[in-house]
Amino acid sequence: MAFLRLQDYYETIPQEHLETILEQSTGIVGDIDVLEASESKSITRAKEYLTSRYKVDLIFKPFKEFDLATSYSYGDRINYTADLWEASVYLDGELVIYNGIVYLRNAVTASYTAATLPTNATFFSNKGEAGIYYIAFPSEYDIDTIYATNDLFTFSHEIYKKNTQTYVADQLPLKARDTAYFARVRTTAYLTEKTVTGVYPTNSEWTFGDNRNQSMVECIVAMTINKIHSIINPRNIPALRRDNYSMSIEMLKEYQGGLVQVDLPDREIEGEQTGHAIRFGSNEPTNHSY
């Protein structure tokens, strides 16, 4: 799945306007998913600015599909949704949204009819509010806490685990002297530490809310809409869309140069986190004929 949802676009552009420009651009470039392709190119452009300083794969981590059989772990997010309810016949196990709530059709069939509302608890089960859910990271590191063996905590967007060595408070997990006490949990080991499967988002393992950086959401939305307009006519992009694009690029430059303090995961340099920019050149990133 993608980093953005359609709802993210609708906060910037009316749905009917987005559908219109998508239809126009598709007519020009052919039968492709213009929105998905344009979003992907916009993220690639943003990464060109951010990759020397931040962990861009974490920043732009896409949504995952929700499935009871899928195993989820720290940082995973889903866009929990379904088709809107209609006066149709729903089969056992089907999900449907009614008034913003996701309902599950159960196995009871006696007297069930197509017009039965999902609020009827005889035939449907309430499976929670539709929206974004994620698996929260462990609590942030507390310098005053004495961590026990196998305790987990988050420090600078990374998960750390206490080993068997005895220590006192004030030990920072990223100081050289503290590697004897803490070890970073690699993303490949997340499922070993926490596995969430077989439960709906109403389960306490899930957190309701959006764990994406909202500045990055707004940035990619603006860049993507501008890209779609450029497909239609690069010489006639609406001023609002050009301005939003330009502001997004300026914001990325500020993040790249460390001019703005932003809550994004810093790159790991030689095994240690750093809050300082590592610049590999300051030239304008190349526009690859987007």
Establish whether domains 82-129 and 137-190 are of one fold. yes
- Check pLDDT > 70 for residue 230: yes
Q: Tell me what pLDDT residue 152 has.
A: 95
Q: Tell me what pLDDT residue 175 has.
A: 56
- Delimit the domains of the chain by residue range: 6-61+212-273, 82-129, 137-190
Q: Report the Cα–Cα distance between both ends of the chain, in Å, rounded.
A: 22
Q: Tell me what pLDDT residue 76 has.
A: 97
Position with higher pLDDT, 277 vs 159:
159
Helix axes 15-29, 214-232, angle to 10 degrees: 50
Chain segment 177-219, per-residue pLDDT in tens: 467 788 889 999 999 999 999 999 999 999 999 999 999 999 9
pTM of the prediction?
0.85
Q: Tell me what pLDDT residue 268 has.
A: 64
- Check pLDDT > 90 for residue 229: yes
- Residue 278 to residues 53, 157, 268: CA-CA distances in angstroms? 6, 18, 10
β partners of residue 84: 97
Q: In terms of CATH architecture, what is 82-129? A: Ribbon (2.10)
Distance CA 129, CA 4 (A): 19
Average pLDDT, the chain: 89
137-190 to CATH, choices 1.20.120, 2.10.10, 2.60.120, 1.20.1740: 2.10.10
